[in-house]
Chain A
Amino acid sequence: MATTTEAGFTDKSKPDSTSLLSIRSVAKHFGKNIVLRDISLEIAEGEFLTILGESGSGKTTLLRILAGFEQPTSGEVWMQGERLDTQPPYRRRVNTVFQHYALFPHMTVEQNVGYGLQVAKRPAEEIKSRVAEALAKVKMSTFAKSKPSKISGGQQQRIALARALVNRPRLLLLDEPLSALDANLRREMQVELKALQREVGITFIFVTHDQEEAMVMSDRIALLRSGELEQVASPREIYHRPATSYTAQFIGHTNLLYADVRQGTAMCDRLVWPTSLPDGSALFSLRPECIRLARIAPPAIGSANPLSNIRFRATLRDQAFHGATDLLHVESDGGLILTIRIASHDLPNSKAPLEFEFSAADAIPVRDSDNKNEERR
């Protein structure tokens, strides 16, 4: 049942002892439509967690349950020993940055940021100084008296952030806050947001469908797929050690190799490499950048275990220039189509087969996501 989340790589996906938020077997149904099923997740104090998933994966629903706009059909949410899911949104020490910012159009920037403090009936001087401080933090002090409609999308974004942070929440929820910005501003804001999170030390739960964004910003990524957690791990781990074929394909590109394992040897087409898996069929993920052009001369005898360096011949189908790297599509002698990423390099445009190699250690066994009942071998 819980195998999906553990996936064999437990050390980093387990929370520290200082857990802030605990999501326990949360499910959400809208009528017959099951949006979330059995989500369990611990979020540590000061962590930057990204909930990553395609549209319709249930990530926004999960966020809305944490904010208090939706009630879980079953399961519980706890924050530091207190039940959270039974509280109305205005009693939670949780604030949200909405996807389209949801600034109040009839108030100035200053009034927007001060809104939370004002309804909490804080003294006027305190409101004034804290609003000024929050605006300074997001570099928007000069716009204090503007109406939201008079500032740009990126600036509105900053105001939404200030409006949430000024209340010093325990937890900040961000619902695809960068999706409306153009690419350059977006990259800029990713870095800025991450820096801000480190500075204020507040736990961030960030929802996005953009895997690159998730990788750049997060301490941990929780990958959601059709309402279930596919894998929870640090960006590096989730990239280098994907637990399932879905994870491997969603995060970055990969080659999926369906192999037959016999006596410690995996065989896929004419490729053969050593593995510790038991006999039977298995699925491996091999990242395009783990395959390289082999040097013409075979490696010197005794330099490495020849079995761990797998060589094969393939013909180039096409080559796409991506700046620093080139993406190749090749067809191996056995008819296997592989994607390969190499440092940008003009290859001779001939039909002559080329020699490639990869390390056996880079072929990562993954669970087949399309076949959920199959047990992991």
Chain B
Amino acid sequence: MSTSSSSSSIKTSRWLAFHALLVFAFLYLPIAILILYSFNGQGVGGFPPRNLTLSWYRILFSDAPIWDSVLNSLLVAAAAMLIALLFGIPAALAVDRANFPGKALFRRLVLLPLILPGIITGLSLLMLFRVAEVKLSLLTIILGHGTALISVATTKVFAGLQKLNRAQEEASLDLGATYWQTFWRITVPNLKLSIIGAALLIFTLSMDEIAVSFFLIGRDNTLPLEIWGRLRRGITPEINAISTIIFMFSLLTIVVWYRLRTRAEVTPEIGAELVETAGRS
């Protein structure tokens, strides 16, 4: 009885492992192939890739329009990040600690753009700019990304505020610091990590945003739209090459973020553990 049940559980776990492998392949195989083919000497076709070469990267680096679009995207991402943080941080503070009529509604509405399809955000902003007779340009994209990503800043910073020990702020007031001094000396340093996290997330989200940008684009392309435009004229491994670079860049951002987080959060815990074990012996 017991042996058959244990053998069936082994079977189940094997099956699950296989399933996990499939999921993993499904997620990462396309990316792996994309990277592989950026070195393919025979264009996009043909399996397996042959005559591995760096020439696509050489072509990419002398391709001025691509780099213009990269610069545009960086500019848009940086500006959108600033806008989102500028509005998102006070919104998070308001949701966390202010009491005002309609707060529950405000809280839900601020978070709504997270779920709202980009098409709707883009289209509604496009109509707004039409009515206001604003010419579409990088500025409209910045405004679009900025507003769409406020909710990301708000959620991240709000989560940080929830973890913040309010007694610390009370202690600061108690020790003679005004509300303003307390905000800058206690609240902000404690939120630093959440703010950096929000900034990185907003930056990367803006970098690869297509739907909103598509509606608000003027004459200057962002990188995703440039790539998309070229794909319509036929795919070349140059696209694979730029995608590979984007992928590496994203990976680097994630690594930087994790390093920051582990440095800030894990070290004190290890420290406390050491003190505890030292105290016991």
Interface residues of A (CB under 8 A from B): 67-69, 88-90, 94-96, 98-100, 102-106, 115-116, 119-120, 147, 149-152, 163-164, 167
Looking at chain B's contact residues, the main secondary structure is: helix
How far does the Cβ of B187 sit from chain A's closest Cβ, in whole Å?
A: 11
Chain A residues, CB < 8 A from B178: 88, 90, 119
Closest to A119 in B: B177
CB pair A149 B186 closer than 8 Å:
no
Q: Which residues of A sit under 8 angstroms from B167, Cβ to Cβ?
A: 98-100, 102
| 9 more A-B residue pairs beyond the given contacts A115-B175, A150-B272, with a C-beta to C-beta distance below 8 A | A90-B173, A90-B175, A102-B165, A102-B167, A116-B176, A149-B268, A149-B269, A152-B275, A152-B276
Chain B, 251-272, contact with A by CB distance < 8 Å: what is the 0/1 string? 0000000000000000011011
Which chain B residue has the least Cβ–Cβ distance from A106?
B189
Residues of B within 8 A of A105 (CB): 168, 190, 268
28 contacts between A and B (CB under 8 A): A68-B173, A68-B174, A89-B173, A89-B174, A90-B175, A90-B177, A96-B170, A96-B171, A98-B167, A98-B170, A100-B165, A100-B167, A102-B168, A102-B170, A104-B168, A104-B171, A104-B186, A115-B175, A115-B177, A115-B185, A116-B177, A119-B178, A119-B181, A147-B271, A150-B271, A152-B275, A164-B174, A164-B175
Q: Which of A95, A102, A151 has the most CB of B within 10 A?
A: A102
Residue B30 CB within 8 A of the other chain: no
How many interface residues does chain B have, given as a range? 20 to 34
B165, chain A: closest CB distance, angstroms: 6
Q: Which of A88, A100, A119 has the most CB of B within 10 A?
A: A119
Say yes or no: is B243 at the interface (Cβ < 8 Å to chain A). no
Chain A residues with CB under 8 Å of B275's CB are: 150-152
Report chain A residues within 8 Å CB of B271: 147, 149-150
Complex: A163 Cα to B171 Cα, angstroms: 10
In the bound complex, residues from chain B placing their C-beta under 8 Å from that of A102 are 165, 167-168, 170-171
Check: B172 CB closer than 8 A to any chain A CB.
yes
Assess the B174–A115 pair: CB atoms within 8 A: no
Tell me the complex Cα distance, A146–B110, Å. Answer: 41
| B279 lies within 8 A of chain A by Cβ | yes
Which residue in chain A gives the minimum CB-CB distance to B168? A102
Known pairs A102-B165, A149-B268, A152-B276; A95 contacts B189 (CB<8 A): no
CA distance A245 to B271 in the complex (A): 49
| C-alpha gap A112/B276 in the complex (Å) | 22
Given the complex of chains A and B, what is the CA–CA distance between A67 and B269 in angstroms? 31
For the complex, what is the distance from the CA of A232 to the CA of B9, rounded to whole Å? 67
Q: How far is the CA of A50 from the CA of B35 in the complex (A)?
A: 71
Complex Cα spacing A120 to B177, Å:
8
In contact, A90 and B190 (Cβ under 8 angstroms)? no
CB distance from A119 to the nearest CB of B (A): 4
CA distance A150 to B181 in the complex (A): 26
- Which residues in A have their C-beta under 8 angstroms from that of B268? 105, 147, 149-150
- A150 and B276 CA atoms in complex are apart in Å by 9
Within 8 A of A (CB), among B180-220: 181, 185-186, 189-190
Q: Which residue from chain B places its CB closest to the CB of A96 in the assembled complex?
A: B174
Evaluate contact between B176 and A119: CB separation under 8 angstroms.
yes
State whether B190 touches A152 (Cβ < 8 A): no
Give chain B residues whose Cβ lies under 8 Å from the Cβ of A106: 189-190
Contact among B168, B175, B185, B279 with A167 in the assembled complex (CB-CB below 8 Å): B175
- Chain A residues whose CB sits within 8 angstroms of the CB of B279 once the complex forms: 152
CB neighbours of B174 from chain A (8 A): 67-68, 89-90, 94-96, 164
A99 contacts which chain B residues (CB < 8 A)? Answer: 167
Residues of B within 8 A of A150 (CB): 268, 271-272, 274-275
